[in-house]
Amino acid sequence: MKELRLAESAGFCFGVRRSVEMAEKLLAEGPCASFGMLIHNTDVVRSLSEQGMRTIESVEEAQTGESVLIRAHGVPPETVSGLLARGAAVVDATCPKVKLIHTIVEKAVAQGRFVLIVGMNGHPEVEAIRARSGSCAVLENAEETMLWLDEHPQLMNEPITVVAQTTQTKNNYTECVNLIKKRCTNAEISDTICFATSKRQEEAAALSRQCDAMVIIGGRRSANSLHLAEICRNNCENVQFIERAEELDLSILKESPIVGLTAGASTPAGIIKEVVNKMSEEIKVEEIQEEAQVAEPVAEAAEVPVQDSADVAAPVEKELSFDEMLEETLTPIYNGEKVSGTVVSITATEVSVELGAKYSGFIPTSEFTDAGIKVEDVVKVGDTIEAVVVRVNDVEGTAQLSKRRLDAAKAWTDVEEAVESNAILEGVVTEENKGGVVVNVKGVRVFVPASQTDLPREAELAQLLRKTVRLRITEVNRARKRVVGSIRRVAQAERREKMEKLWSEMEVGKKYHGVVKSLTSYGAFVDIGGVDGMVHVSELSWGRIRQPSDVVSVGDEVDVYVINFDRDKRKISLGYKDPEANPWTMFTRRYSVGDKAEVKVVKLMSFGAFAEVLPGVDGLIHISQIADHRIEKPEDVLRVGDVVEAKITAIDEEKQKISLSIRALLNEAKAAPAVEEEVPEDDDDGSDALVYEVSASGEASGDASAFAED
């Protein structure tokens, strides 16, 4: 054995370290009990037992008034209630990461979901999870998973939640999950393998591929230690699994130049150090033996020990750095301290952060879910995150963190710089205050006076609540924590910019999507993006309307187009009615001279009757064309609202005039029976009937005297 390589993440994990520390604090107050073997390491359990901690395996063994520590693996809920019923004082040392699994399965049960647990049957952690899972199954490997899927086809379309024992191997869990995904159509997968466990397994796999032999230190009943040995055996033939230094067989390591060492999560630093020292001594013995075997001449051999010394020095340095690493994992943290860690899990209430210290950090999800944002859209498992320590709980081994407070500190710097640079910042209006509103800008409260909100003087400030606004900072006093801003300055600048851009790009016929701002008797004013244009009442509809409000209302979103504009006077005339819906165009597509049309009488005049051919298109039936005989006035035959058939006798495309005749159809009807009979010529056949232009009011434009002379 020439070189010893040590895994960086070997030894106590957070949950085990926390439970041991809680046990030591309890023992300082007097004798106590542990429900089940506290951790899977006989040396640690023996040491705690010598200090006064006894191990109990059932509720009945607990004594009234006795403090009972719940191990890191957790216990079923009925165990806790049973202990309390016996008068015991329960101290919960369940690993927060295991508690997270409890929360997931309890939520799944409440939703009526079936729970699948990928883990070791009978393991305390798995049994504690199973007790909270209602209808569930425990699957140890891919073979069991496949068998279970084949035996339960009725559950393939049912809602299923999948969790993993925290110490499962990543490969085994992935194999099981892939099988479940293929068969189960409604499965929610939760990767609940402890981040520290995954890291330890990855290091063991990498180390075992580099070394000629591997030594794994861990308890015989430790699931994570057994998994480490299994991983190493897949890559290395020479693997020793030991609990303590005296079990180490150095004889089978002598022929292995490079030996790797790792340890399970329940292995204390002291035992790891004993094994390292024993292996390091062996390296030194080999060095002495090699020096003794060196032959003459001395000058040539002198170079060999020098090279060997360099080779042997490396493990000593690694041993020291490894010890330092172990000490660093026990480093405490304090309130107000800035820390950095890795997100290991996300629940409905908190984000768990692995800090690499003696505490497990958590951040309330409320810090990430402002304005209805989902926490999963902001942070993900595996992300590195910085935060400030808010409160440390030595008993539970947890630290409440706040990312928002750290962000707020950074935001103060941004706010102060924004004053100098005149930069635009963004924030959410959180409250209405006396004389203005408060905007949250990255955690900093910014007061915006009512006059700077860009709202009309009579408007309600409450309409800004929960809205995202852009503003400029006008005043900062960090000592008094006072910041003043202006939304109006940004809005005015943006309006000016939009106006200039709009005017520079404006052209006749260009279409805009706008909002109706106000109505008058003669039209509607529409905001088309910072500039108001007017739609005249005549441009609102092709049909007859009494007032603009018949067509649009204030606040309506409308599509308009530019009829004309004056850039110097800043005036714009807009059209609203669709050119494609022009009634005259629709009329000319549908009718020609000589066609019959069913028309509706809309107005009677002394010289004739106006009749609607299509909505928005009227024609004139001259008095001479109303009947096949002379009449004194139109109302002798027609009434407003009558629907009659008329013949289109003339169309003036240029002036948009239409002449109609009822008489022509009556004459045709008389002439029909006598095919060869010549129709008598009439002095007043209507051929000279006036073709007129229809106005919006229904009045005829043209020479009305022509009708009077008839």
DSSP 78-121: HHHHHHHHTT-EEEE---HHHHHHHHHHHHHHHTT-EEEEES-T
More confident of the two residues 2 and 144: 144
The pLDDT value recorded for residue 54 is 93
Q: Is the pLDDT of residue 270 over 90?
A: no
8 Å CB contact between 665 and 594: no
The residue extents of the domains of the chain are: 1-12+96-330, 14-92, 338-402, 422-492, 506-581, 583-709
- pLDDT tens per residue, range 311-358: 333 333 333 333 444 444 456 777 888 888 888 777 777 888 888 666
Q: Is the pLDDT of residue 120 over 60?
A: yes
Q: Is the pLDDT of residue 656 over 80?
A: yes
The pLDDT value recorded for residue 623 is 92
8 Å CB contact between 188 and 160: yes
The pLDDT value recorded for residue 693 is 46
More confident of the two residues 701 and 442: 442
Q: Is the dihedral of CA 226, 228, 233, 237 positive or negative?
A: negative
The pLDDT value recorded for residue 345 is 72
The pLDDT value recorded for residue 28 is 86
Tokens of 363: 């951040």
Q: How far is Cα 602 from Cα 587, in angstroms, rounded to an integer?
A: 18
Phi and psi at residue 65, to the nearest 5°: 85, -5
The pLDDT value recorded for residue 9 is 74
Domains 1-12+96-330 and 506-581 share a fold: no
Phi and psi at residue 510, to the nearest 5°: -70, 140
Q: Beta strand pairing status for 511-520 and 557-566?
A: antiparallel
Bridge partners of 661?
A: 647
Confidence of residue 159 (pLDDT cuts 50, 70, 90): very high
- pLDDT tens per residue, range 356-372: 666 778 898 888 876 56
Tally DSSP H helices, then E strands, for the chain: 17, 34
Mean residue pLDDT across the chain = 81
Q: How far is Cα 264 from Cα 9, in angstroms, rounded to an integer?
A: 9
Q: How far apart are the first and last CA of the chain?
A: 131
**Which residues lie closer than 8 Å to 550 by C-beta, 6 or more apart?**
541
Q: What angle do CA 171, 173, 176 make, to 5 degrees?
A: 110
Q: At the topology level of CATH, where does 422-492 sit?
A: OB fold (Dihydrolipoamide Acetyltransferase, E2P) (2.40.50)
Domain 583-709 bears CATH identifier 2.40.50.140: yes
Give the residue-averaged pLDDT of 383-409. Answer: 82
Confidence of residue 436 (pLDDT cuts 50, 70, 90): very high
Q: How far is Cα 41 from Cα 62, in angstroms, rounded to an integer?
A: 22
Bridge partners of 384?
A: 342
Instruction: Name the amino acid, one letter, at 177.
Output: V
Q: Is the pLDDT of residue 699 over 60?
A: no
- pLDDT tens per residue, range 8-25: 777 777 778 788 888 888
The question of whether 125 is a catalytic residue gets the answer: yes
Instruction: Name the amino acid, one letter, at 673.
Output: P
Query: By mean pLDDT, which of 100-114, 321-335, 523-537, 636-650 is the weakest?
Result: 321-335
The pLDDT value recorded for residue 395 is 60
- pLDDT tens per residue, range 471-494: 999 998 877 888 999 999 998 888
One of 3.30.465.10, 3.40.50.11270, 3.40.50.880, 3.40.10.10 is the CATH number of 14-92, namely: 3.40.50.11270
SS (H, E, C) 138-168: EECCHHHHHHHHHHCHHHCCCCEEEEECCCC
8 Å CB contact between 476 and 419: yes
Domain covering 1-12+96-330 in this structure, CATH number: 3.40.1010.20
3-6 β-sheet, strand order: 3-6, 258-263, 213-217, 238-242
The pLDDT value recorded for residue 4 is 86
- pLDDT tens per residue, range 538-590: 888 776 778 888 888 998 998 888 989 988 888 899 988 766 677 888 888 88
More confident of the two residues 198 and 640: 640
Q: Is the pLDDT of residue 180 over 90?
A: yes
pTM summary value: 0.42
Instruction: Name the amino acid, one letter, at 386.
Output: E
> Would you state the CATH architecture of domain 506-581?
Beta Barrel (2.40)
Give the residue-averaged pLDDT of 237-248. Answer: 90
Q: Is the pLDDT of residue 690 over 60?
A: no
Q: How many CB atoms lie within 10 A of CB 226?
A: 20
Bridge partners of 619?
A: 611
Q: At the topology level of CATH, where does 338-402 sit?
A: OB fold (Dihydrolipoamide Acetyltransferase, E2P) (2.40.50)
Q: Is the pLDDT of residue 677 over 80?
A: no
The pLDDT value recorded for residue 398 is 79
Integer-rounded Cα radius of gyration of the chain: 45
- pLDDT tens per residue, range 63-88: 988 889 998 889 999 998 899 888 88
The pLDDT value recorded for residue 309 is 32
The pLDDT value recorded for residue 331 is 61
The pLDDT value recorded for residue 344 is 75
Active-site annotation holder among 57, 78, 125, 693: 125
Q: Is the pLDDT of residue 374 over 50?
A: yes
